[in-house]
């Protein structure tokens, strides 16, 4: 066992694999702590050419690039992997207390999140799930920072965890969004874990759905009975998947407007210590089963928190904060101050009488469905912009949902757009309600067409149900393009 993070990295041949945001953060961390880490060799590898001069203080940093850059792993003791790199061509295994690839025996594979979870002194609340994790993480941060000044928002939401590692203390609190790619090579779990849901996603990155779920559940796999797991009681697939994995104290969040609890939820109820039950009109009931206490509360109105699914996310966040604060009233007030997140059901504005919403973060069908349901109380969602990178997702069920919700126009982007249009055209043959499905190539075409097709008083929503990487750097760039095109019509 290593004493600390520096002992873990000390006197090794280290390869930083990937030189994007997290890779550059790893480089800075090693450079800033070079005396303690003292690597035998330090190198950086990336598919793209690395133009920066990375040498410093007598250390010559080797730069490796090109299509065969992964082959270099065999020359090092430890790989500090960035989350965006696919390892689905390799076979991974746990050896002693670290990960290795069968193709590179004896080479340790680790990542920032694994090192952070092993060695950080802070109180860590980790949030993951196929959708809702960014909003939930931000809500956890919103509540905790009002209770504890030394609170940080880290992880997949945009701040690499090692950027603040050295300043964290035992009374520091970290709300950390943990994407599946960051969890893939973790052998530790956070003290408090929130799992929002599980759906097929990132199938281009993993061997199959089972491989994806295994990596995702590293969030809870290494917890002990002293730790906490907070999950929505109505996510039956999630509960079935984790029932033989978790060992921690269990907290449920229940939507009382949904059907009765599933068989697996009833089974797991015997392990419950607390339950939060969402009623109508933002009211909820908190039950502490260990103390036999029951209290009623009400969430305050916040127009940045749209949809019942986000009220559930709010309760997940409050459940996490209550573990540390022991109260809910101040947390509820803190949530009222939440300003929402860009590209997540973001209200762009009203132009020519049309209300525009940007939900570019929606990269799977379930997220798109929730966005539409959240907006329906505000008006008719008439036009939907959707489609993107093809990740082998079947869109039939989603398109059927769009017919059910009477979405008049679906404007579709490559690459999945052609399949979505084909499904809609096939359904149009047998349906009384007809959907106008159109394939476009650019955001300009899409927004121009949206202005033509959407009536004043109606809603136009960007909720792609697909990743953006075929046309954009990321979902944020896609969302910005959407907003820029809308602005050009003002």
DSSP 117-179: HHH--SEEEEEE-SSSHHHHHHHHHHHHHHH-SSEEEEETTTB-GGGSGGG--TT-EEEEE--
Asked whether the CA dihedral 162, 166, 167, 173 is positive or negative, the reply is positive
Query: Is 132 annotated as a binding-site member?
Result: yes
Q: What is the 3-state secondary structure (H, E, C) of 251-312?
A: EEEEECCCCCCCHHHHHHHHHEEEEEEECCCCEEEEEECCCCEEEEEECCCCCCCCCHHHHH
Query: Is 129 annotated as a binding-site member?
Result: yes
Do 163 and 25 meet the contact criterion of CB atoms below 8 Å apart?
A: yes
- List beta partners, residue 228: 192, 249
Cis, bond preceding 415 (omega within 30 deg of 0): yes
Query: Is 387 annotated as a binding-site member?
Result: no
Query: Is 388 annotated as a binding-site member?
Result: no
Query: Is 353 annotated as a binding-site member?
Result: no
Alpha carbons 127 and 136: distance in angstroms, whole number: 7
Report the interhelical angle of 417-430 vs 396-404 (nearest 10°). 50
Alpha carbons 95 and 131: distance in angstroms, whole number: 32
Do 285 and 293 meet the contact criterion of CB atoms below 8 Å apart?
A: no
- Binding-site members are 129-135
- Binding-site members for ATP are 129-135
């Amino acid at each position: 066992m290593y004493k600390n993070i520096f002992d873990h990295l000390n006197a090794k041949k280290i390869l930083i694999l990937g030189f994007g945001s997290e890779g550059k953060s790893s480089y800075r961390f090693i450079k800033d702590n070079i005396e303690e880490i003292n690597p035998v060799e330090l190198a950086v590898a990336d598919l793209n050419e690395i133009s920066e001069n990375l040498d410093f203080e007598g250390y010559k940093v080797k730069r490796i690039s090109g299509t065969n850059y992964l082959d270099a792993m065999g020359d090092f003791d430890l790989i500090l992997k960035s989350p965006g790199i696919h390892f689905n061509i390799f076979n991974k295994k746990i050896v002693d207390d670290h990960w290795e690839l069968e193709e590179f025996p004896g080479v340790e594979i680790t990542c920032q999140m694994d090192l952070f979870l092993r060695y950080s002194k802070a109180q860590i609340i980790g949030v993951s799930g196929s959708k809702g994790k960014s909003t939930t993480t931000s809500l956890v941060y919103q509540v905790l920072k009002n209770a504890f000044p030394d609170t940080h928002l880290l992880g997949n939401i945009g701040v690499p965890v090692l950027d603040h590692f050295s300043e964290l203390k035992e009374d520091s609190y970290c709300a950390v969004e943990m994407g599946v790619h960051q969890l893939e090579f973790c052998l530790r779990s956070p003290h408090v874990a929130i799992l929002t849901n599980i759906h097929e996603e990132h199938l281009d990155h993993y061997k199959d759905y089972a491989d994806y779920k295994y990596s995702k559940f590293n969030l809870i796999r290494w917890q002990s009975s002293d730790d906490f797991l907070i999950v929505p009681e109505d996510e039956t697939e999630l509960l079935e998947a984790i029932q033989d994995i978790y060992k921690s104290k269990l907290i449920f969040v229940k939507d009382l407007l949904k059907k009765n609890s599933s068989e697996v939820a009833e089974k797991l109820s015997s392990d419950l210590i607390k339950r939060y039950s969402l009623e109508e009109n933002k009211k909820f009931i908190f039950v502490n089963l260990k103390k036999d206490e029951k209290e009623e509360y009400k969430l305050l109105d916040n127009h940045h928190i749209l949809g019942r699914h986000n009220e559930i996310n709010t309760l997940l966040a409050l459940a996490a904060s209550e573990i540390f604060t022991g109260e809910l009233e101040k947390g509820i007030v803190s949530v009222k101050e939440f300003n929402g997140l860009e590209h997540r059901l973001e209200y762009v504005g009203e132009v020519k009488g049309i209300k525009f919403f940007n939900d570019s973060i929606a990269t799977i069908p379930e997220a798109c469905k929730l966005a539409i349901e959240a907006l329906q109380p505000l008006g008719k969602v008439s036009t939907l912009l959707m489609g993107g990178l093809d990740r082998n997702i079947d869109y039939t069920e989603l398109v059927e949902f769009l017919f059910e919700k009477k979405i008049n126009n679906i404007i579709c982007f490559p690459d999945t757009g052609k399949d979505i249009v084909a499904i809609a055209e096939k359904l149009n043959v047998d349906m009384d309600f007809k959907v106008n499905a159109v394939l476009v190539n650019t955001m300009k075409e899409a927004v121009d067409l949206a202005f033509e097709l959407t009536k004043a008083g109606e809603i136009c929503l960007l909720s792609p149900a697909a990743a953006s990487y075929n046309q954009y750097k990321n979902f944020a760039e896609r969302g910005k393009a959407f907003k820029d095109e809308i602005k050009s019509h003002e």
